Structures are given as structure tokens and as C-alpha cells.
């Protein structure tokens, strides 16, 4: 079964149409990249999936179960998805120790946790994202941007998601730090079998991490396909335009290559 299926999705904010007729499919354990210029509707798609943007038409299914609407089945389905955002500074409460933020993430599992089990789980999650678990009591201000982004990933993982949506998670980070976050996501995908919808306006980053890519423009998808095939022979002029900024074609580049100006 497909982990996440978006079918003919439209998102409207009042009279304004932000997304129209978008379909997308994410198989278990895979990464699909969603790329497009600013304002093309990428975040609207992500937010609609987790119930933060209004779905005006279409369906969203998680493991075959519709995640649209207010019914408890749909709400349960949405809990299987975790969204991580761009800004690691505002994502964590500055007055809350990072361990407590990660612990909050376990609520999405819907299970009861004893104090001790939760404490152990928080340590395990911090280790998983390569943050020293002995620092669980420190405030976010004591960590770098890259570390904070990894802590927000730990908090998302605490909900034991089936699908992780990463919306511009590396955009606010230095290039040198971007690769540590990207490599962490690849590692988690491998070890946990996560399915990832990876959103970015940066084609180099999307290319590095995605098995498949969908290109968005003006609220719609202009083309999609396996990453290397699509980028080697884009059929849409807009994809070609996006590719103009990326130096090497025809194979999956190392991140260092993609980061070279």
C-alpha cells in the first residue's frame, strides 16, 4: 500500500486558489521531492496533508485511509504524518528544555508513557539525531541551528510517523550544515523505513535526497518522475529553467558537488 497518496488536491484560501488538481504518490520507504519557485503552492500541499490548510477538493490518503475531514479516523490518519518546518529557531519553545519538547512529540503516538519510559525514549531519540542525550535539560538557545533542526526532527520522530514531511528544512542553514541534516534524513529513512516528502525550492538539495521528483508551478504539478531520468531529460521548460542553476547532470551528485557554486 502507498504510504501517502494525494489525489486531485485543491487548496483555496477564500477566493484565492493556491493549489489545483495536484496528485502525488509516496511509496513506503521512499523520498519524493517537491520542488518549485516561491509561491508555487508547495507548503500549501504540505499543510493540507496535516490539516493546517483547507482542502477544497480531492483526497489525501495515508495507508489507504482518508486523512481529510474531522472524523476521528481522518484525525488518526493525520497523526501518522509529521511535518517539520524551515525555521529551527521558532520551531522550539525557547523556554522549554529540548528534552521536554521532544517528549511532547510522544503524545502523537496515542499511547500512555510512564515517566521513565518517556525519559528513556527521549534519550534514544536524541541519540538517533546525533545530539548528546545528556544535554536534554538545556534550552534551545544553547544549540546551533543545525542541532536545533535535528532536535525538531527528533520531536517529529517521537510521534512514530509513517510519513515525514520536510518543508524547506535546510533553507535557513549554512551549506556546510545542510549536508548533515540531509544525511541524517537519509540515514533515518534507511534505518526506520520512513517515507519522506521533501519540499524545497532548491533543486540541488532535492536531487541529492529524492528518489522521485515532482515539479510545481502556479499551484499545479508540471512534471514528475524518477529523479535522474527527469533531470536528465526534462520535458517541461520550467524544469529546464530550474536546472539551469545545477552544475552536473546525469547522475546523483555528492552533496559537496551540488554545493559548489
**Is residue 101 within the footprint of Mg ion (CB under 5 A)?**
no
Report the partner that residue 36 touches, choosing among ligand ATP, Mg ion, none (CB closer than 5 to 8 A by kind).
ligand ATP
Nearer to Mg ion, 20 or 106 (CB): 20
Q: Which of ligand ATP, Mg ion, none sits in contact with 18, Cβ below 5 to 8 A by type?
A: ligand ATP
> Least Å distance between CB 75 and ligand ATP?
21
47 contacts Mg ion (rule: CB under 5 A):
no
Q: Toward Mg ion, which CB reaches closer, 43 or 258?
A: 43
Burial 2-29 (b: 16+ CB within 10 A, else e): ebbbbeebbbbeeeeebbbebebbbeee
- Which residue's entry shows cell 511509496? 27
Query: Which residue's C-beta sits nearest to Mg ion?
Result: 43
Which are the contacts of 101, defined by CB distance < 8 A and separation ≥ 6? 92, 93, 140, 151, 155
Report how far residue 81's alpha carbon sits from residue 83's, in angstroms, rounded to the nearest whole number. 7
Candidate segments 39-47, 75-83, 109-117, 208-216, binder of Mg ion by CB under 5 A:
39-47
Contact (CB, 8 A) for 153 and 142:
no
Length of the chain (residues): 261
> Which parts of 184-235 are beta strand (E)?
195-200, 212-217, 220-226
Interface residues with ligand ATP (CB under 6 A) are 13, 16, 18, 36, 38-44, 201
Q: Closer CB to Mg ion, residue 20 or residue 43? A: 43
- Residue 43 binds Mg ion (CB under 5 A): yes
Considering Cα of 51, then 53, then 56, then 62, what sign does the dihedral take?
A: negative
Grid coordinates representing 171 are: 533553507
Q: How far is the CB of 177 from ligand ATP (least distance, A)?
A: 20
Task: Give me the least distance between CB of 259 and Mg ion, in Å please.
Answer: 21
Query: Is the CB of 106 or the CB of 210 nearer to ligand ATP?
Result: 210
How many CB atoms neighbour CB 176 within 10 A? 11
- Residue closer to ligand ATP (CB basis): 94 or 244: 244
Binding site for Mg ion (CB under 5 A): 43
Amino acid at each position: 500500500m502507498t504510504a501517502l497518496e494525494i489525489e486531485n488536491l485543491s487548496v483555496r484560501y477564500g477566493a484565492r486558489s493556491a493549489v489545483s488538481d495536484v496528485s502525488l504518490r509516496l511509496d513506503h520507504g521512499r523520498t519524493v521531492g517537491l520542488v518549485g519557485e516561491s509561491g508555487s503552492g508547495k507548503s500549501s500541499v504540505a499543510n493540507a496533508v496535516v490539516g493546517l490548510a483547507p482542502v477544497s477538493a480531492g483526497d489525501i490518503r495515508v495507508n489507504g485511509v482518508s486523512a481529510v475531514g474531522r472524523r476521528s479516523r481522518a484525525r488518526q490518519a493525520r497523526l501518522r504524518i509529521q511535518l517539520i518546518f524551515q525555521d529551527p529557531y521558532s520551531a522550539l519553545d525557547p523556554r522549554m528544555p529540548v528534552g521536554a519538547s521532544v517528549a511532547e512529540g510522544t503524545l502523537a503516538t496515542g499511547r500512555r508513557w510512564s515517566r521513565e519510559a518517556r525519559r528513556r525514549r527521549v534519550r534514544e531519540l536524541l541519540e538517533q539525531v546525533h545530539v548528546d542525550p545528556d544535554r536534554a535539560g538545556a534550552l534551545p538557545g544553547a544549540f546551533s541551528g543545525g542541532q536545533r533542526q535535528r532536535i525538531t526532527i527528533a520531536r517529529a520522530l517521537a510521534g512514530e510517523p509513517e510519513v515525514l514531511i520536510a518543508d524547506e528544512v535546510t533553507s535557513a542553514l549554512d551549506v556546510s550544515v545542510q549536508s548533515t541534516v540531509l544525511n541524517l534524513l537519509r540515514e533515518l529513512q534507511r534505518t526506520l523505513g520512513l517515507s519522506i516528502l521533501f519540499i524545497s525550492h532548491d533543486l540541488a538539495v532535492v536531487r541529492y535526497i529524492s528518489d522521485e521528483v515532482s515539479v510545481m508551478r502556479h499551484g499545479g504539478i508540471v512534471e514528475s518522475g524518477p529523479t535522474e531520468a527527469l533531470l536528465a531529460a526534462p520535458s517541461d521548460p520550467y524544469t529546464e529553467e530550474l536546472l539551469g542553476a545545477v552544475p552536473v547532470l546525469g547522475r546523483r551528485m555528492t552533496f559537496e558537488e551540488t554545493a559548489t557554486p
